[in-house]
Amino acid sequence: MKFLKSIVIAAALVSCLVSESNAQNTPIPKPGPEFDVLKADVGVWDVTIKTWAGPGQPTISKGKETNRMLGGFWLLADFQGSMMGADFQGHGMYSYDAAKNRYVGTWVDSMSASKMEIVGTYNADKKTMTYEGMAPGMDGKPAKHVLKTVYSDDGTHVFKMHVHTEAGAVKVFEMSYARAEGN
């Protein structure tokens, strides 16, 4: 076991040396204009959440989201609040994939053991980011989710999520974002 560990460490060191040598010859990529929409979300946000568990009036709760950029390429989002009467935490990672010509992301949260992978587009004229992904629906079966964020000129934005069922699209929640004071 000790011998195997030594081989793995040696291989990792050689890989690092080769990578470092190659890195000296390869310029580090720089994020293009597609990342500007992600950078606009950096900061701390106060969030008002409207949740629909069925027909009728929504349940309203509060939350806070803290976002930062990782290397200019990834928006990391950390959410804390309450949803449907329970404490709720979530973590998202979003970027632009030039090979796919699409925005990509991953979301995990405290209400599910499943990860949602999403792919989307940004419409600059409508200031709207639209993602689609598959995740468990309200019945636990895989369902298409559509996540749409509309940005306003005043710096706020509204995020809505719909889950597609056999009966059609069902609005699950709407989250209104405003910059936290001092941010």
Q: Is it the case that residue 17 has pLDDT exceeding 60?
A: no
* Rounded average pLDDT over 162-172: 87
Please write the tens of the pLDDT for every residue from 82-130. 987 889 999 999 999 999 999 999 999 998 888 999 999 999 999 999 9
C-alpha span between 65 and 85 (Å, rounded): 18
CATH architecture of 33-179: Beta Barrel (2.40)
Say if residues 103 and 121 touch (Cβ distance below 8 Å). yes
Q: Which two tokens stand for residue 9?
A: 């460490």
* Rounded average pLDDT over 63-69: 98
Say if residues 50 and 58 touch (Cβ distance below 8 Å). yes
Question: Which residues share a beta bridge with 97?
Answer: 102
Domain boundaries, the chain: 33-179
* Rounded average pLDDT over 4-12: 52
What pLDDT score was predicted for residue 5?
Answer: 55
> Please, what is the Cα angle at 134 between 130 and 140, to 5 degrees?
130
C-alpha span between 127 and 88 (Å, rounded): 28
Q: What is the pTM of this model?
A: 0.81
